[in-house]
Structure 1
């Protein structure tokens, strides 16, 4: 028991030291780090979608819901780069954090469902979903630290609860279609997060708007 307490204490100290170190990092450097992480997140989600498409039955696309049904669709966000450039830095960060926060539970569902997904690349897909969770967690930690430097507006989060079922389906077509749809929603949102953070990084570097 004493050994466990010692390990727990060491872990706590390590976490606190890491947070303290990140808090001392300039905003521009933090933006570089979170932008790299978000880029990896979006790239991984795109690769996962391609993995699914490799053996996705055409009839499955007929049953897939439209993107407008994604649980994050109610969030009012810029539709393109030009609109994003008109949004304040704090609001952009708040939007990115809101989108990422909204995927905590759905990513757990994807991770659980991937373990029994009826797909030839099931093992690889399952491992990549776990990577998605890990990158999302690290990105969330970075955005939390960043928001603390940018004030109350950046710390505000719009809560977008996921109201879908934990069970993605019983038959093969339903499982693949629902899994693909949920992953497609995540890929779409990860692209938005990545775009917002790249605009923020661009502004921090004082680049001209047309170069962002």
Structure 2
């Protein structure tokens, strides 16, 4: 028999983690300040390469998280989830095809990438708290959520450094607000699970867009890139 703390889905793991997390907070109580120490020393190609690798890592993890959550917590609720509310980033007019991506100016596309990632800053923090307190969630799922939340903060610094280097003086766009905290914190299990599944599906879609847009931007901005 495995010791309690070594079991991959041990509830005690979550108890220990939650004891080190802040209590649930208002969605916009923490200001977003991203320093760029060290990034100014990198070349534009190095910044792009690093950001693309991280974006692909985030995208892969979010796909795994979404599939794992649906398999373990939705069951008969799949149909409801697929027909649930739209993503909070829907207000961003993002290009959906390769042709639309190519028709979008580089500075606009880059600021769009930043807006998408900033829009997930607070939802990801709440997602970490939600999964940490979700009975039955495996340790691996929680670690993936934490990894994505931390990687999103890091990649935002790289995006900012790229924007400053490629388009000096460019102002960032306003990012859309997330208003789904009440459902994510709901005491009703079905409401909470549907909200979390929808959040993960939206995150999966948006992180995939970011990775695709970065590849397109690198092909435009970096010469002799064999695109």
Same fold (TM over 0.5): yes
Structure 1 residue runs of 5 or longer lacking an equivalent are 1-14
1:81 and 1:68 mapped to 2: Cα distance?
26
Equivalent-residue separation in structure 1 for 2:87 and 2:224 (angstroms): 34
Deviations 1:161-210 (A, max 9, x none): 112224512233222221111011111100111111010112234469xx
Q: Is the 8 A contact 2:183 2:191 kept in 1?
A: no
Corresponding position: 1:70 with 2:84: no
1:144 maps to 2:157:
no
Could you tell me whether the CA contact under 8 Å between 1:116 and 1:122 is conserved in 2?
no
For the residue of structure 1 that corresponds to 2:198, the secondary structure is helix
- For 1:131, which of 147, 165, 173 is the aligned residue? 147
> In the alignment, does 2:112 pair up with 1:122?
no
Partner of 1:58: 75
**1:82 offset after TM fit, Å?**
1.8
Aligned-pair CA distance for 1:26: 1.9
> Are 1:48 and 2:65 matched, yes or no?
yes
Q: What is residue 180 of structure 2 aligned with on the other side?
A: 164
What SS is found at the alignment partner of 1:64?
helix
Alignment coverage as a number of residue pairs: 193
Stretches of structure 2 lacking an aligned partner (at least 5 in a row): 1-33
- Aligned partner of 1:189 in structure 2 is 206
> Equivalent residue of 1:69, what SS?
coil
Q: Measure, in 2, the Cα distance between the counterparts of 1:98 and 1:145.
A: 14
Q: Check 1:204–1:151 CA distance in 2 against 1; reply closer, same or farther (3 A cut).
A: closer
- How far apart are the structure 1 equivalents of 2:214 and 2:181? 31
Name whichever structure is richer in helix by fraction.
Answer: 1
Residue 95 of structure 1 and its aligned partner are, at CA, apart by: 0.3
Q: Determine the C-alpha separation between the residues in 2 that align with 1:105 and 1:52.
A: 20
Tell me, yes or no, if the aligned pair for 2:51 and 2:159 is still in contact at 8 Å.
yes
Task: Please give the root-mean-square deviation of Cα atoms over the aligned residues, in Å.
Answer: 2.4
Which deviates more from structure 2 when the two are superposed, residues 190-199 or residues 51-60?
51-60
- Partner of residue 109, structure 2: 92
Measured in 2, the distance between the counterparts of 1:105 and 1:89 equals: 26
Q: Which range moved further: 102-111 or 22-31?
A: 22-31
Given that 1:67 and 1:185 are in contact with CA atoms closer than 8 Å, whether structure 2 keeps it comes out as no
Q: Is the 8 A contact 2:101 2:213 kept in 1?
A: yes
Shift of 1:65: 5.8
